């Protein structure tokens, strides 16, 4: 995976809330709402800029007790979708609060 050592950081312009196990993300102009499933919500919650893609995949693997291959495939695909929609960005160095 080409992004494995990049840090994932949420777009700070997005408004989000957890409802049960699901995250709801609203863009800054309120025109689009994203509803994430449990795995996507967990990835979203931990995308604070201090974990690499590889570390996020390790966390998902442990949290949901799934195989490394399954976690890598699903997480990488989801992160790529979030990148394409501008929900997250990748950085070369960790982001501090």
Enumerate the domain spans of the chain.
Answer: 7-87
pLDDT digits (tens, 9 = 90+) for 53-65: 999 999 999 999 9
The confidence band for 2, taking pLDDT boundaries of 50, 70 and 90, is low
> What's the pLDDT tens digit per position in 32-54?
999 999 999 999 999 999 999 99
pTM for the structure as a whole: 0.91
Which pLDDT score is estimated for 28? 85
Sign for the pseudo-dihedral over CA of 71, 2, 84, 18: positive
Is the model's pLDDT at 1 over the cut of 80?
no
| Start-to-end Cα distance in the chain | 27
Looking at the structure, give the CATH architecture of the domain made up of residues 7-87.
Answer: Alpha-Beta Complex (3.90)
Per-residue pLDDT for 97 more than 90? no
């Amino acid at each position: 995976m080409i992004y494995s050592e990049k840090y994932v950081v949420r777009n700070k312009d997005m408004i989000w809330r957890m409802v049960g196990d699901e995250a709801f993300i609203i863009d800054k102009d309120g025109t689009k709402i994203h509803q994430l499933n449990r795995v996507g919500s967990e990835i979203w919650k931990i995308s604070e800029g201090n974990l690499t893609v590889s570390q996020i995949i390790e966390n998902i693997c442990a949290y949901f007790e799934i195989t490394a291959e399954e976690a890598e495939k699903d997480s990488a695909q989801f992160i790529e979708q979030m990148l394409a929609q501008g929900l997250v960005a990748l950085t070369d160095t960790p982001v501090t609060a």
